[in-house]
C-alpha cells in the first residue's frame, strides 16, 4: 500500500485546505493506480453505488482506517520501545560498571604505591571502528500496474469534503497525494469487528500511551547516548580493565573471580557497536 508523507510546506497545504471551505474540494481531481481504479469500480458495483458515492464512502472509511492503522503502528512501536529500553538499561549497567571498576582498580594500585606511569593506558590509536561498517541494503520493487494511472475528476459528498478538510489540516497533506492513498486504505480488506474493537481500544488507550511513550523514549535516549559514548571507547576500556586486573594479581590485590565482560570478544563488541554506534536513531 502506498504511504502518506507529511509535506513540510505548511503554507501550501493550508492553501489547499482553503479550497474545501470555499466548496472547491467537493470537485476532486486525482490519479489512481490502475489496480486501485479497478478495485474501486468493483467496489462500487458490489455496493450498488455511483462512482461519486463510492469515492466518498472510501475516503471516509480510509480516514478512519488511517487513524486506526496509525494507532496500531504506535502500539507496535511502543512495545518495541519497551524492549529496547530494557536492553539499553541492562547494557548501561554493565558498561558503566567497567568504567567504575577501572577507576576502583587504579585507586587500589595507587594505594599499593604503583606509580601513575605504570597505570596509564598505553598510547595507541583507538580503534573505534573494528566492528566494521554496516551496509544498508535498499530494496526497490516495481509493482505491476503502478506506473499506469487513471485520471479522475468527480464530486464528493459535502460531509466527506468536511472530513477530508479536517484530515488535511491535521496531517498537512496535499489533496492530490492524500485522496488516492485514503481510497486504498478504504479498499483494504479489514475485519469490521476487529476494526471496531481497535477503534474502542484507541479511544481508551491512546491518551495514556502518548504520555507514556514520550516519557519512555526520553529515558531510553538518555541510556542510549551514555552507552554510545562508552561503546566507542570499549576496546580501550576492556584492554585497560584486563591489564589492571593483571597488575592487581601481580601485587596481591584481591579482585572478583569473574566479571561478565571478562569473556567479551569481537562478537559481543560488534553487537554493541551495531546497537549503539552504527545506527541512525534510537
Containing structural domain, residue 22: 10-276
Question: Do 32 and 150 touch, CB atoms closer than 8 A?
Answer: yes
Please state the domain count of the chain. 1
Question: Do 278 and 133 touch, CB atoms closer than 8 A?
Answer: yes
Measure Cα distances from 82 to 21, 71, 74, 86, 198 in Å: 43, 16, 12, 6, 21
Report yes or no on 3 lying in a domain. Answer: no
Pull the grid cell for residue 79. 512495545
Pull the grid cell for residue 130. 573494528
Report yes or no on 282 lying in a domain. Answer: no
Model pTM? 0.65
Report yes or no on 199 lying in a domain. Answer: yes
Report yes or no on 2 lying in a domain. Answer: no
Report yes or no on 250 lying in a domain. Answer: yes
Report yes or no on 281 lying in a domain. Answer: no
* 64 backbone dihedrals φ, ψ, rounded to 5°: -60, -45
The tens place of each residue's pLDDT in the chain, 282 residues long, gives: 555 544 444 444 444 444 444 444 567 888 888 888 999 999 999 999 999 999 999 999 899 888 888 888 899 999 999 999 999 999 999 999 999 999 998 888 888 777 766 666 665 544 444 443 333 233 333 444 455 678 888 888 889 989 999 999 988 888 888 999 999 888 886 677 777 888 888 888 888 888 899 999 999 999 999 999 999 999 999 999 999 998 888 888 888 778 999 999 999 999 999 999 988 665
Report yes or no on 5 lying in a domain. Answer: no
Report yes or no on 200 lying in a domain. Answer: yes
* 102 backbone dihedrals φ, ψ, rounded to 5°: -60, -45
Q: Which helix (H) or strand (E) holds 239?
A: helix 234-250
Question: Do 235 and 130 touch, CB atoms closer than 8 A?
Answer: yes
Question: Do 195 and 68 touch, CB atoms closer than 8 A?
Answer: yes
- Give the Cα separation of 269 and 131 in Å (integer): 7
**DSSP type of residue 25:** G
Amino acid at each position: 500500500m502506498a504511504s502518506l508523507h507529511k509535506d513540510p510546506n505548511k503554507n501550501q497545504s493550508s492553501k489547499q485546505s482553503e479550497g474545501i471551505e470555499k466548496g472547491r474540494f467537493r470537485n476532486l481531481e486525482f490519479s489512481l493506480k490502475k489496480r486501485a481504479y479497478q478495485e474501486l469500480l468493483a467496489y462500487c458495483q458490489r455496493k450498488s453505488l455511483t462512482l461519486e458515492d463510492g469515492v466518498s464512502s472510501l475516503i471516509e472509511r480510509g480516514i478512519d482506517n488511517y487513524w486506526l492503522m496509525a494507532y496500531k503502528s504506535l502500539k507496535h512501536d511502543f512495545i518495541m520501545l519497551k524492549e529496547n529500553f530494557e536492553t539499553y538499561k541492562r547494557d548501561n549497567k554493565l558498561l558503566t560498571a567497567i568504567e567504575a571498576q577501572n577507576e576502583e582498580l587504579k585507586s587500589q594500585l595507587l594505594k599499593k604505591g604503583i606509580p601513575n606511569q605504570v597505570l596509564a593506558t598505553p598510547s595507541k590509536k583507538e580503534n573505534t571502528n573494528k566492528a566494521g561498517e554496516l551496509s544498508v541494503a535498499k530494496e526497490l520493487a516495481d509493482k505491476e500496474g503502478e506506473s499506469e494511472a487513471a485520471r479522475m475528476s468527480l464530486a464528493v459528498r459535502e460531509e466527506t469534503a468536511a472530513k477530508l478538510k479536517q484530515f488535511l489540516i491535521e496531517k498537512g497533506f496535499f489533496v492530490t497525494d492524500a485522496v488516492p492513498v485514503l481510497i486504498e486504505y478504504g479498499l483494504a480488506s479489514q475485519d469490521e469487528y476487529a476494526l471496531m474493537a481497535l477503534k474502542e481500544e484507541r479511544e481508551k488507550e491512546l491518551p495514556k500511551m502518548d504520555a507514556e511513550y514520550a516519557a519512555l523514549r526520553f529515558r531510553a535516549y538518555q541510556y542510549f547516548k551514555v552507552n554510545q559514548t562508552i561503546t566507542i571507547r570499549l576496546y580501550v576500556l576492556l584492554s585497560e580493565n584486563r591489564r589492571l586486573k593483571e597488575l592487581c594479581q601481580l601485587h596481591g590485590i584481591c579482585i572478583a573471580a569473574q566479571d561478565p565482560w571478562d569473556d567479551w570478544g569481537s562478537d559481543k563488541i560488534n553487537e554493541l557497536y551495531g546497537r549503539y554506534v552504527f545506527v541512525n536513531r534510537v
